[in-house]
Amino acid sequence: MKKSGVSYAKYGYIFSIPFVVTFIIFSLYPTLYTVVIGFTDLRGLGKTAFKILSDPFENYKIIFANKTFRTSLKNTAIIWTMNFIPQITLALLLTAWFTTRRFYVKAQGAFKVLIYMPNIITAATIAILFNSLFGYPKGPVNDILVRFGWVAKPQNFHLQKWTAKGVVAFIQFWMWYGNSMIVLIAGVLGIDVTLFEAAEIDGANATQIFFRITLPRLKTIVLYVLITSMIGGLQMFDIPKLYLNGGPDNATLTSSAFIYNQAFSGSYLYNRASAASMLVFLIIVVLSVALFLLMRDRDEVKLRRQERALKRRGGVA
């Protein structure tokens, strides 16, 4: 019998047209274009004509040999790690407090909003704000340190490599721990309440519940936070660029800032910038896959494998 009525599926397609068109024009096409020009001689302002190099991987070789690129990768890894460890720790701690069944944190909503707030402000504003805060020879941080007698005279923070890295990492941490916390709380709320109840009845204390129930159940969410944060971290650009423009002495130059400099700081090396961004893309892919494999639920995988083996034998219909 022919099913009469409206086919709602077509509305799905119709409503997704604007996104698909925008995506193809503004995301997919530029991405593919980037892949292509990484193998070409396209450099210089206002040029659009290009040809594939006789050695297509020449740009990649140059970028591999580029000392500044290696420094920028190292910086990115260091700054991201410096930001992620405190970020996930604090986010988990806050999640535990906000979701515990032992006590109720008063004015939770207000706290969550306040903690999330830094994420709403534009990163550019915060970077410039911190640049002023750590100003030298005059700046609030220096004023406080001198007034309390912790240092004899103002410190030139903008020349200290580790301070600069630390500030960038701190901004990143401070902007994103609220976001991670919200995601983790959502994850905890998704856990079956009966599990917690059972644990409580069995006499488990809060710490045990957190480490034995919450955390293992939260693994996929933590993995999600880890991977999105890593992708975001590897693309870190606006904060280091605007805080000290990659300085001092390349201490906060991230790989994205390096790519930007290749393309737009004077020589318009579009081809090398593309090659560098493809390398960063590969790094992101490799790391994401590695993390994914590392963090996946081993028991579940084993279970699935057994199921498949059973199916092959025709045991399960």
- For other proteins, the binding residues (CB under 8 A) are 43-46, 48, 66-69, 132, 135-139, 156, 158-159, 245, 247-250, 258, 261-262, 264-269, 272
- Taking the complex as a whole, the smallest distance from the CB of residue 122 to other proteins amounts, in Å, to 13
- Taking the complex as a whole, the smallest distance from the CB of residue 5 to other proteins amounts, in Å, to 21
CA atoms within 13 Å, Cβ hemisphere of 305: 6
Task: Compute the radius of gyration of the chain from its Cα atoms.
Answer: 25
C-beta of 22 vs 132, nearer to other proteins:
132
C-beta of 65 vs 317, nearer to other proteins:
65
Going by C-alpha positions, the residue among 217, 174, 25 that lies closest to residue 86 is: 174
C-beta of 182 vs 244, nearer to other proteins:
244
Tell me the C-alpha distance between 198 and 204, whole Å.
9
- Taking the complex as a whole, the smallest distance from the CB of residue 151 to other proteins amounts, in Å, to 14
- In single-letter form, the type of residue at position 58 comes to E
Tell me the C-alpha distance between 95 and 100, whole Å.
8
- Taking the complex as a whole, the smallest distance from the CB of residue 69 to other proteins amounts, in Å, to 7
Structure token digits, residue 119: 């994420």
CA atoms within 13 Å, Cβ hemisphere of 182: 14
Going by C-alpha positions, the residue among 242, 230, 234 that lies closest to residue 259 is: 234
C-beta of 66 vs 228, nearer to other proteins:
66
Instruction: Give CA 51 to chain center in angstroms.
Output: 35
C-beta of 121 vs 290, nearer to other proteins:
121
Rounded alpha-carbon distances, angstroms, from residue 128 to 50, 167, 191, 204, 255: 38, 12, 41, 48, 20
Quickly list H helices, the chain: 9-23, 29-37, 58-65, 67-99, 108-116, 123-133, 140-147, 161-189, 193-201, 206-209, 215-217, 219-234, 238-244, 255-264, 270-295, 298-312
- Taking the complex as a whole, the smallest distance from the CB of residue 219 to other proteins amounts, in Å, to 41
Tell me the C-alpha distance between 66 and 272, whole Å.
11
C-beta of 128 vs 191, nearer to other proteins:
128
C-beta of 158 vs 217, nearer to other proteins:
158
Q: What share of the chain is helix, strand, coil (3-state, %, to 5)?
A: 70, 0, 25
Structure token digits, residue 299: 């028991």
C-beta of 68 vs 119, nearer to other proteins:
68
Residue written as tokens 């975001």? 232
